[in-house]
A = this chain, B = another copy of it.
Amino acid sequence: MCNEALEWLTSHAADVLAGLNQFLAIPSVSTRTEHRHDVARCAEWLGSELRRIGLTAECHPTAGHPVVLAEWRGAPSGAATVLIYGHYDVQPPEPLELWRSPPFVGTMRDGRLYARGAADDKGQLWIHLKALEACLATTGRLPVNVVLLLEGEEEIGSTSLPDFLAAHRERLTCDYIVISDTMMFAPGVPNILGSMRGLAYFELTARSAATDLHSGQYGGVVPNAATALARALSTMLDGEGRVAIAGFYDDVREPAESRRRELARLRFDERVFASEVGLESLTGEADYGALERMWLRPTCDVNGIEGGYTGEGVKTVIPSSARAKVSFRLVPDQTPAGVERLLRAHLARLPIPGVRLELRLLHGALSWSAERGTGAVGAARRALAAEFEHEPVAGGTGGTIPIVPELARHVGGEILLVGFGLPGENAHAPNEWIAVENLRRGMRAMVGLYQELAALRGRIGSS
């Protein structure tokens, strides 16, 4: 069964890319109201694809964007059930002027496929669809039962999914959850994720006078909202990468020594990593290695800021309001609510006369840590090692897939995070890409993984 599927993938390589390009062409930007119709169209298109390759598939409307739920339940009695989670929504493409090719046209350059969503997450979701199709097209069956749970709100916090999980708990019950929305450790080095940071994302608004005022006539007596916002933001970090909010580190669990040693063994090349993003060197907390800072330590970043006059030339105003998006990556045992409480207290203590600071939590998600050394992890190790000819590492991610802790809570199943992006892939940035080689190997490894997970059930039964 496996060989036929692998041969199918080889002979259909061009079709696989053509289909992905159709998927990438739909601008399913979930955060933008004007793309609402595109997001819905993308869900419908996915549903059709899934039905074409032999699954049942439904688009479930939610208060936000649709959830696509697809199933294939023809595996032999007693076979394991694998839930594959992915998301078909993407980040906004802006700033457009920095793209070398249009964000919604899949474009091949130097072995990479460029487009918004190429890595995050359409390309990686496509790996599973095509691995499933390869098996079904050649043998008419899969070695495991499969449920696909594909959402359109991952980039905006998976708002509707928890309710959906609760409402469809029985249909979603599974033995394993496979998610490909992360990165390989390096070119050629597969990665089965060991941990993931959480997120607390805020909007902070400063307000002063009733209206913007002339900075000459009023300068010296009227508080400036933009200056105040800059001041407030600058108090949140100490300049050396540590968050300067009182109590922030109280809930931060120190990384286990075993995990620190594991990461140290990865021999991460900071200089190469820095040069890939145009930097001379990396920055951050001096007491932690770069991988620890990215995966195991909390952060604070200003994601956006605006206020006053930002057009061409000169305008002499004192802005009456200014606004920032500021977010924290969280680690065990931090919670978004806990960070919000500390931040509110911090802002309330700032001596900024005449300016009101308003804080709004836009999105929160918990961090996650994998159970270590389970049978499922072993199955994934074997499948990935066979295809990539390299033993997978147990990396982390500094990013957040908010639904991971929710899935663990609602539908059970061991979670496997096996990603096929690469560092420098420009997820959430202009010129996002995925290596075509990793698309190819990823599909083959997933065909192998379904077999390995099927075999695992046999092993468990016989042990």
* Residues of chain A at the chain B interface (Cβ within 8 Å): 31-33, 91-92, 94-95, 98, 155-157, 183, 197, 199, 201, 208-224, 226-227, 229-231, 233-235, 237, 239, 241, 270, 273, 277-285, 290, 293-294, 297, 299-320, 322-325, 327, 329, 351-354, 362-363, 397-400, 423, 426-431
Report Cα–Cα, A430/B390, bound state, in Å.
63
Taking CB atoms, residues of chain B closer than 8 Å to A316 are 199, 201, 303, 327, 399-400, 428
Q: Judge whether B220 and A297 touch: CB under 8 Å.
A: yes
Asked whether A31 and B311 contact (CB < 8 A) given A233-B230, A293-B220, A305-B305, the answer is yes
Report Cα–Cα, A356/B31, bound state, in Å.
31
Name the one of B33, B215, B304, B319 contacting A315, with C-beta atoms under 8 angstroms: B304
The 8 closest A-B pairs by CB, nearest first: A210-B278, A216-B399, A304-B308, A220-B293, A31-B313, A234-B234, A219-B299, A226-B302
Name the one of B212, B218, B329, B400 contacting A398, with C-beta atoms under 8 angstroms: B218
| A–B Cβ pairs within 8 angstroms, 25 of them | A197-B216, A210-B278, A212-B429, A213-B429, A214-B429, A219-B329, A220-B293, A221-B284, A221-B290, A221-B294, A224-B301, A224-B302, A226-B324, A229-B230, A230-B233, A230-B234, A281-B354, A302-B319, A304-B307, A305-B306, A305-B307, A305-B322, A310-B325, A315-B325, A316-B428
Asked whether A227 and B325 contact (CB < 8 A) given A217-B183, A241-B220, A314-B362, the answer is no
Taking CB atoms, residues of chain B closer than 8 Å to A31 are 311-315
Copies of this chain, tallied across the complex: 2
Taking CB atoms, residues of chain B closer than 8 Å to A304 are 226, 307-310, 315, 317, 319
Report Cα–Cα, A156/B322, bound state, in Å.
24
Report Cα–Cα, A272/B285, bound state, in Å.
49
Taking CB atoms, residues of chain B closer than 8 Å to A214 are 399, 427-429
